[in-house]
Structure 1
Amino acid sequence: MHRVTTSRFFTGLFALLMLCATLPSLAQAAPSLISDPRSVPLLAEDASVQDLNDQLDLIRQKVTGSANDDLLSTLRQAALQVQKQADTLAAKQILDLEHLDDQLNVLGPVQVNEPPSLTQQRSALTRQKNTLLNEQRQASSLSQSASDMAAQIFSLRRSLFDSQISTRSASPISVVFWSNIIRPTDDDLSRLRGLYADVRSVTDTAVAPGNRWFFMSMLFSALLVWVTGRRVLEHTLVRLTVRWIPEGRLRRSALALAVGLATVLTISLAATLLRWGVLRDTVPSADMLTLLDQLQTLVVFCAFIVGLGRALLMRAHPSWRLPQIPDQIAVALAPFPVLMGLALMLIGTQERINSVIASSLALTTAVNGLTALAIALVFFFGLLRYRRTRRRYALERMSGIAGLIPFVAGTWIGISLLALLSGYLTLAYFLTVKLLWMSVVAATAYLLIACFGDLCETLLSPKQPGGLALGSALGLSERHQAQASTILAGVGRTLLMFTAVLLAFLPSGSSPGELLAGLTQLDLGSKPLGNLNIAPGDILLALVLLAIGLFGVRVLKNWLGERLLPETNMDAGMRASLVTLVGYIGFVLVAVVVMSTLNISLTNLTWVVSALSVGIGFGLQAIVQNFISGLILLTERPVKVGDWVSLAGVEGDIRRINVRATEIQMSDRSTVIVPNSQFITQNVRNVTMGNALGVVGITLTLPLETDVLQIRELLLTAFTEHEDVLDTPAPSVTFKDLTANGLVIGVSGYVNSPRSVGTARSDLLFTVLGRLRELGVALSSPQSMVLINEAAEKASPAD
Structure 2
Amino acid sequence: MQRVITKRFFTGLFALLMLCVILPALVQAAPAPVSDVRALPSLDESASVADLNDQLDLIRQKVTVSANDDLLSSLRQAALQVQKQADALSARQAIDLEHLEDQLNVLGPVQADETASFTQQRTALTKQKNALANEQRQASTLSQSARDLATQIFNLRRSLFDSQISTRSASPISVVFWSNIIRPTDDDLSRLRGLYADVSSVVTTAVAPGNRWFFAAMVLSALLVWVAGRRVLERFLLVRLMVRWMPEGRLRRSALALAVGLSTVLTISVATSLLRWGVISDSTPSADVLNLLDQLQTLVVFCAFIVGLGRALLMLPHPSWRLPPIPDQIATAMGPFPVLLALALLLIGTQERINSVIASSLALTVAVNGLTALAVALVFFFALLRYRRTRRQCQLERMNGIAGLVPFVVAVWVGISLLALLSGYLTLAYFLTVKLLWMSVVAATAYLLIACFGDVCETLLSPKQPGGLALGSALGLSERHQAQASTILAGVGRTLLLFTAVLLAFLPSGSSPGELLAGLTQLDLSSKPLGNLNIVPGDILLALIILVVGVFGVRVLKEWLGERLLPETNMDAGMRASLVTLVGYIGFVLVVVVVMSTLHISLTNLTWVVSALSVGIGFGLQAIVQNFISGLILLTERPVKVGDWVSLAGVEGDIRRINVRATEIQMSDRSTVIVPNSQFITQNVRNVTMGNALGVVGITLTLPLETDVLQIRELLLQAFTEHEAILDAPEPSVTFKDLTTTGVIISVSGYVNSPRSVGGARSDLLFTVLGRLRELGIALSSPQSMVLINEEVEKVRAADQEKPD
Q: TM-score, normalised by structure 2?
A: 0.94
* 1:38 shift after superposition: 4.2
Matched with 2:581 is 580
- Distance in 1, Cα, partners of 2:548 & 2:103: 58
* TM-superposition CA deviations, 1:215-265 (whole Å, max 9, x none): 111111111110111111111111212233332222221111100000000
* TM-superposition CA deviations, 1:491-520 (whole Å, max 9, x none): 111111111111111112323354345456
Matched with 1:40 is 40
Contact 1:35–1:286 (8 Å) recurs in 2: no
Structure-to-structure mapping, 1:686-705, within 5 angstroms: 686-705=687-706
- Distance in 1, Cα, partners of 2:623 & 2:526: 43
Matched with 1:74 is 74
Say yes or no: does 1:465 pair with 2:463.
no
Contact 1:29–1:193 (8 Å) recurs in 2: yes
Change (3 A) 1:447 1:295: same
Matched with 1:674 is 675
- Distance in 2, Cα, partners of 1:54 & 1:751: 89
* TM-superposition CA deviations, 1:134-174 (whole Å, max 9, x none): 22112111111111110000000000000000000000001
- Distance in 2, Cα, partners of 1:449 & 1:599: 36
Helix, strand or coil for the counterpart of 1:557?
A: helix
> Which has the larger displacement, 658-667 or 746-755?
746-755
- Distance in 2, Cα, partners of 1:190 & 1:742: 124
Helix, strand or coil for the counterpart of 1:22?
A: helix
- Distance in 2, Cα, partners of 1:299 & 1:722: 77
> Which has the larger displacement, 741-750 or 20-29?
20-29
Contact 1:12–1:227 (8 Å) recurs in 2: no
* 1:102 shift after superposition: 2.1
Matched with 1:6 is 4
- Distance in 1, Cα, partners of 2:131 & 2:611: 60
Structure-to-structure mapping, 1:717-728, within 5 angstroms: 717-728=718-729
Gaps of 5+ in 2: 792-805
Change (3 A) 1:16 1:39: farther
Matched with 1:129 is 129
Contact 1:250–1:458 (8 Å) recurs in 2: yes
* 1:525 shift after superposition: 7.4
* TM-superposition CA deviations, 1:638-666 (whole Å, max 9, x none): 11111111111111111100000000111
Matched with 2:616 is 615
Residue identity in the other structure for 1:6: V
- Distance in 2, Cα, partners of 1:605 & 1:513: 37
Contact 2:151–2:523 (8 Å) recurs in 1: no
* 1:305 shift after superposition: 0.6
> Which has the larger displacement, 458-467 or 679-688?
458-467
Matched with 1:547 is 548
Residue identity in the other structure for 2:769: V
- Distance in 1, Cα, partners of 2:81 & 2:605: 42
Say yes or no: does 1:205 pair with 2:236.
no
- Distance in 2, Cα, partners of 1:24 & 1:671: 80
> Which has the larger displacement, 731-740 or 341-350?
731-740
- Distance in 2, Cα, partners of 1:266 & 1:320: 22
Helix, strand or coil for the counterpart of 2:571?
A: coil
> Which has the larger displacement, 277-286 or 691-700?
691-700
Matched with 2:709 is 708
C-alpha RMSD of the superposition: 2.1
- Distance in 2, Cα, partners of 1:9 & 1:101: 75
Matched with 1:162 is 162
Contact 1:703–1:743 (8 Å) recurs in 2: yes
Matched with 1:424 is 425
The counterpart of 1:26, out of the listed 1, 24, 46, is 24
> Which has the larger displacement, 231-240 or 20-29?
20-29
Contact 2:694–2:752 (8 Å) recurs in 1: yes
- Distance in 2, Cα, partners of 1:777 & 1:443: 80
* 1:23 shift after superposition: 3.4
- Distance in 2, Cα, partners of 1:421 & 1:766: 85
- Distance in 2, Cα, partners of 1:24 & 1:278: 20
Contact 1:313–1:334 (8 Å) recurs in 2: yes
Residue identity in the other structure for 2:660: V
Structure-to-structure mapping, 1:315-714, within 5 angstroms: 315-516=316-517, 518-519=519-520, 526-714=527-715
Helix, strand or coil for the counterpart of 1:44?
A: coil
> Which has the larger displacement, 471-480 or 227-236?
471-480
Change (3 A) 1:108 1:6: farther
Change (3 A) 1:9 1:240: farther
- Distance in 1, Cα, partners of 2:652 & 2:326: 49
Contact 2:35–2:358 (8 Å) recurs in 1: no
Contact 1:693–1:752 (8 Å) recurs in 2: yes
- Distance in 2, Cα, partners of 1:610 & 1:682: 31
Matched with 2:148 is 148
Residue identity in the other structure for 2:44: A
Contact 1:376–1:416 (8 Å) recurs in 2: yes
Residue identity in the other structure for 1:765: L
* 1:457 shift after superposition: 1.9
Helix, strand or coil for the counterpart of 2:508?
A: coil
Matched with 1:109 is 109
- Distance in 2, Cα, partners of 1:467 & 1:130: 65
> Which has the larger displacement, 506-515 or 9-18?
9-18
Change (3 A) 1:757 1:293: same
- Distance in 2, Cα, partners of 1:82 & 1:665: 68
- Distance in 2, Cα, partners of 1:361 & 1:42: 29
Helix, strand or coil for the counterpart of 1:498?
A: helix
* 1:725 shift after superposition: 2.7
Contact 2:370–2:429 (8 Å) recurs in 1: yes
Contact 1:38–1:71 (8 Å) recurs in 2: no
- Distance in 2, Cα, partners of 1:461 & 1:586: 29
- Distance in 2, Cα, partners of 1:786 & 1:490: 75
- Distance in 2, Cα, partners of 1:75 & 1:576: 55
- Distance in 1, Cα, partners of 2:744 & 2:588: 64
Change (3 A) 1:413 1:599: same
Matched with 2:750 is 749
Change (3 A) 1:772 1:511: same
> Which has the larger displacement, 238-247 or 670-679?
238-247
Matched with 2:96 is 96
Contact 2:720–2:732 (8 Å) recurs in 1: yes
Helix, strand or coil for the counterpart of 1:767?
A: helix
Helix, strand or coil for the counterpart of 2:403?
A: helix
Contact 1:303–1:341 (8 Å) recurs in 2: yes
* 1:538 shift after superposition: 2.8
Contact 1:644–1:653 (8 Å) recurs in 2: yes
Matched with 2:803 is none
- Distance in 1, Cα, partners of 2:532 & 2:147: 33
Helix, strand or coil for the counterpart of 1:23?
A: helix
* 1:603 shift after superposition: 2.9
Change (3 A) 1:38 1:434: farther
- Distance in 1, Cα, partners of 2:313 & 2:278: 34
* TM-superposition CA deviations, 1:739-776 (whole Å, max 9, x none): 22222222222223212211221222122212211221
Contact 1:56–1:146 (8 Å) recurs in 2: yes
Matched with 1:244 is 245
Helix, strand or coil for the counterpart of 2:725?
A: coil
Matched with 1:794 is none
Change (3 A) 1:12 1:475: farther
Change (3 A) 1:779 1:675: same
* 1:113 shift after superposition: 3.6
Helix, strand or coil for the counterpart of 2:640?
A: coil
Matched with 2:799 is none
Matched with 2:254 is 253
Change (3 A) 1:119 1:244: farther
* 1:600 shift after superposition: 2.7
Matched with 2:298 is 297
